[in-house]
Chain A
């Protein structure tokens, strides 16, 4: 096929779409740009948003709230105070990691097994259970938080403190202690049916002939799951994992309600409670908080596109 030139209409559409796309990325760019401003500049620009802006003296506060792209003076002082001067933020970042990574991993592992169960030998009872899962998935967390709270309260999971029992060479095992002390948030999130729903739909599309071929070669059910279903779902797993990770990376309500001990709250909770004093820092913290998701996108954007291809419809 010979290479055609772009038609004028295509160029026009490209310009239009590109303008829309720029609008979409604008808030992200602004967040990053603002993180390089001095706190003085930020209070000058955004001071009007917070009536009782105080702290630094003789700061000119503009009546208008100005949006600025390019800082007057580029500085990394905000990052310095977030990353070096104050270890609080790194602690909270770690809190986010120790919540989000186990949730994502365990939810995916559970989803592989459960989706396999739903996709193999479908039947009436299974489809009824699957329907229940869909309803559960559609419940907003404000509704599911009520039952979750009841359970956490009943089992005394609301007020926990971190006890690190491993010392010396076994210290990495303390990760499990940390996870255990966060079980009030971890457990319900792991059993959340979102990834089961998506993965079941992908698994249902796997041609039965693959399975039959494997059976002729003497594969058992477990091997069919691990050697046929699992590899075929790889890109779907990556894309579902990304969605789950992003979702829980941003969670605010669950830790607020289910963890009384605010020392264990993730950074997203701090970001949501930013007020007068630390607006300047908020942008820098926001950017630091973005880094894992950006890295994930760089690695997995194609998976995101590819993996979700088969997921259409509800029943699949």
Chain B
């Protein structure tokens, strides 16, 4: 990446001081509410209990790793995130490309796709329950075509339901991000490609995808953030201890309720470490792919 040296040369000391001072309120808040307590969380994860406060090293972590609930939760979360986030990234890109064509009723369609953002989570969960209940609509349709009804919410098929819910909720916004990125691709490059007789496919892969790569990454990150929020829907659909849909967030929630600080802290620290690795990989990917399109 080309480092922008904007203003570095002409910046006088006092003016820089002002821009640094602008960061102070936020940094103080973040320190008080997130960083310092997080350091305490790390400390909690290395002691045996809050009263005797003996240092036990990584014992809490190894206990956590042996915990069945934690393992199931980690596995289910990994499966869900591993499928849902790439799907949300790719499918919404496809939608955006389709909508790039000159088709009638575009803005209405756009509003429809954005509508899931407006609906409060909890009230729409009722509708999902109706759809995927044992005797619900989806099973009625399945039976109509002679299929076996499926217990959607209590078997491992539940992953399908929450992935659908996740896509439903997030694809519209992702699509908008792609649409505006598609619009900002310089027209002259496409025109030159047209003159040279490039195929639609070639144009898509070699020009558009190149220019979209920062947006793709951005959508991926947003989807990743939102994938952790889907817990609310899962919880509302299935309750505290779903047999097949026990997610990492359930684990955190239930541990929270029992106030087992050691377990909770170890899980939080572990989760953060995984996230830092994921973000580092994404950043490397960005500087790798985004190099040639930035200016």
Check if B181 sits within 8 Å of A64, measured CB to CB: no
Contact with A along B124-153 (1 / 0, CB 8 A): 111111110101110010000000000000
Determine how close the nearest CB of chain A comes to the CB of B189; give it in whole angstroms. 17
- Report the bound CA distance from A177 to B55 in whole Å: 43
Closest B residue to A212 using CB positions: B10
Q: A interface, by DSSP: helix, strand, loop or mixed?
A: helix
Does any Cβ of B come within 8 Å of A44's Cβ? no
- Known pairs A221-B18, A301-B111; A28 contacts B121 (CB<8 A): no
Kindly provide the distance from the CB of B220 to the nearest chain A CB, expressed in whole angstroms. 10
Residues of B within 8 A of A297 (CB): 111, 114, 117-118
Whether A272 and B236, one on each chain, are in contact in the complex, defined by CB atoms closer than 8 angstroms, is yes
A147 to B39, CA, bound (A): 9
Within residues 122 to 155 of chain A, which ones have a CB less than 8 A from any CB in chain B? 122, 126, 129, 131-151
* A120 to B129 alpha-carbon distance, docked (Å): 49
> A110 and B214 in contact (CB under 8 A), knowing A21-B109, A21-B112, A250-B121?
no
Interface contact A139-B272, CB-CB below 8 Å: yes
* Cβ of A257 under 8 Å from chain B: yes
A101 within 8 A of B: no
Of B63-71, B82-90, B190-198, B223-231, the one touching chain A: B223-231
Interface residue from A126, A140, A301 paired with B271 (Cβ < 8 Å): A140
Q: How many residues of A contact B (CB 8 A)?
A: 105
B74 within 8 A of A: no
Report if A117-B286 is in contact (Cβ < 8 Å); known contacts: A10-B103, A17-B98, A48-B135: no
Q: In the docked arrangement, what's the CA distance between A120 and B58, Å?
A: 42
In the complex with contacts A146-B265, A315-B1, A138-B275 CB distance below 8 A: yes
In the complex, what's the smallest C-beta–C-beta distance from A153 to chain B, in angstroms? 10
Shortest 8 CB-CB contacts between residues of A and residues of B: A286-B123, A117-B22, A313-B214, A147-B37, A140-B228, A271-B122, A191-B29, A21-B112
Interface residues in chain A, defined as those with a beta carbon under 8 Å from any beta carbon in chain B: 4, 6, 10-11, 13-14, 16-18, 20-22, 24-25, 27-28, 30-31, 34, 46, 48-49, 63-67, 110, 113-114, 116-118, 120-122, 126, 129, 131-151, 187-188, 190-191, 193, 196, 204, 208, 211-212, 215, 221-222, 225, 246, 249-250, 252-253, 257, 268, 271-272, 274, 279, 282-283, 285-287, 289-290, 293-294, 297, 301, 304-306, 308-309, 311-315
Q: List 12 A-B contacts (CB under 8 A).
A: A13-B103, A25-B115, A27-B116, A31-B119, A48-B135, A64-B136, A114-B23, A129-B27, A146-B256, A147-B38, A193-B26, A309-B181
